[in-house]
Each structure stands twice: as C-alpha cells, then as structure tokens.
Amino acid sequence: MSLPVPDPVPVGVRGGVELPARRTDVELRTDDGLVLVGELALPLEHEPVATIVALHPLPTAGGFMDSHVLRKAAARLPALADVAVLRFNFRGVSSPRGRSEGTFGEGVAEAADLRAALALVAERGLPRPWLVGWSFGTEVALKHARGLDVAGLVLLSPPLHRTTDAELAAWGDADVPVVAVVPELDDYLRPEEARRRFAIAPRVEVVAVEGGKHLWVGEKQTSQVLTEIVRRVAPGALPLSTRWPVA
C-alpha cells in the first residue's frame, strides 16, 4: 500500500533560499581565446519567457558571479518568473564555480566576455536576452552592448566611471529599452546626478529607489531590485510571490 505524498511545505522566499530550477555549469569561450566559467539556471517545468545575462560588479572590489543580487536572481527568478539566468565570472575572476581565464581588463577587454555570453545564449536558443549589469557590469553593458542582439538593459547602481559621454550618447537612439535603477543613497551616482548624466541619452529611463544603497543589502532592497528587473524582463510575473510553492 502506497503512502500519500505530502504537499510541500511552503517556505518564505528570502535570504539565501534557492528555489527549484535546472542548473547547469557552463563554459563561455571568448573570441580572444579564453574560457570563462558560469552557470545557467532554467525554469524547472517550462520554457523560459526571457533570459537574463548577469554582469557582475567590479572584480577588484570583490565582485563576481555570486554577488548577492545576481545570485538571488538565479536562485529565485527561474521559478518565480520563468526567466533563464546566465551568470559568469568575467576574465580573471574566481568564485566557488571556478576561475575564468585571463586577467582583469578594466572594462575594455570584457567586451569579448559579453560577446561570449550572448553567443552561448544564441547557441542554446534562449529567448529575449536582457543584460542586467550591476555597478562595473553596467559599464561593460553601456560601453560594449550597442549594436548587439539584446532585448534591453537594466543597469543597477551605475557608477558611470568608465563610460564616456560619447558612449552614453550612443544610446540616445537605441531601439531597445535601457533602464537605470539608481539608489537614493548610492555611494557613487545618486538619482539627481544620474538624470543629468543620462540626459544626453534621453531614451534611458532613470528609476530612483527610495532608501536604496549601492550594494542593495537586506531583503527589502533585494526584493525592490528584483521587482524592477522583472518589471522589464517578464512583467506578467509580478507581483513576485514571497512564498514557495506559490499558493
């Protein structure tokens, strides 16, 4: 006699909770001969409706593919929003997944890393790739994504240190959405200054997050930033559930 299978106990979606997904270690091969390490997380039971290509913060300040917002996006969004999430270490960066070959390229050589990530997305037939950059990752996107096959850009805490005015202005006639999510209390670029800097690319939407800080620490800020990402990438999934399984 078989026993009934109990219903799964709901858990709160917060902190380090990892929801079900198909997770695979991947390698990206750059056109200048490097192998980068990463992970692809896919919805468990459905085809993805969109794809996030996550571009991590500054390696020399501890940024890597497991930087917490990107790790939590991969842990939650395949289940909550049917979104694929590709994370990887830029050249020369290490994480528990391993070390990507090469050395830090100051945001210049990382153009090849971005191309390699989008090549993998195309190879796997993944839909609607959105670049989601955080801090240094926003610089890589702004400097090198113009003209690439992307559905849009979400820029978290853009510092605009490495991006020139000419590179910003190139997005002024972009035919894809570009959204800058700017924390009210950012260490580098706050909303008022961000609006001034992005004025040369008037199609860029600047979203100010009240109380937000550059590192988005804490569940409230994490939830805010994931919501802003999903609002663009897969709006039909909003509001994001705070319980799993979803009631």
Condensed to tens digits (0 to 9), the pLDDT of residues 85-98 reads 999 999 999 999 99
pLDDT score at 117: 98
Domain ranges within the chain, ordered by starting residue: 19-235
Listed residue (40, 42, 47, 6) closest to 21, CA to CA: 42
CATH annotation of 19-235: 3.40.50.1820
Point out the least confidently predicted range of 3-12, 62-71, 117-126, 222-231.
3-12
- Cα distances from 194 to residues 117, 136, 188, in angstroms, run 28, 15, 10
pLDDT for 9 beyond 80: no
d(CA 115, CA 157): 22
pLDDT score at 122: 98
Provide the pLDDT confidence category of residue 246 given band limits of 50, 70 and 90: confident
- Average of per-residue pLDDT across 29-39: 98
pLDDT for 7 beyond 60: no
pLDDT for 136 beyond 60: yes
DSSP class of residue 173 equals G
Q: Which residues of 66-78 are buried (b: 16+ CB within 10 A; e: fewer)?
A: bbbbbbbbbbbbb
d(CA 105, CA 89): 13
pLDDT for 247 beyond 90: no
Query: Is the separation of the CB atoms in 81 and 232 below 8 Å?
Result: no
pLDDT for 128 beyond 60: yes
pLDDT score at 8: 59
What is the share, in percent, of the chain residues with pLDDT greater than 90?
Answer: 94
Provide the pLDDT confidence category of residue 10 given band limits of 50, 70 and 90: confident
- Average of per-residue pLDDT across 49-72: 98
Sign of the dihedral through C-alpha 192, 140, 128, 213:
negative
Tens digit of each residue's pLDDT (9 = 90 or more) over 235-245: 999 999 999 99
Residue-averaged pLDDT of the chain: 95
pLDDT for 13 beyond 70: yes
Tens digit of each residue's pLDDT (9 = 90 or more) over 170-190: 999 999 999 999 999 999 999
- Cα distances from 201 to residues 103, 146, 173, 178, in angstroms, run 32, 13, 7, 10
pLDDT score at 156: 98
pLDDT score at 34: 98
d(CA 247, CA 236): 17
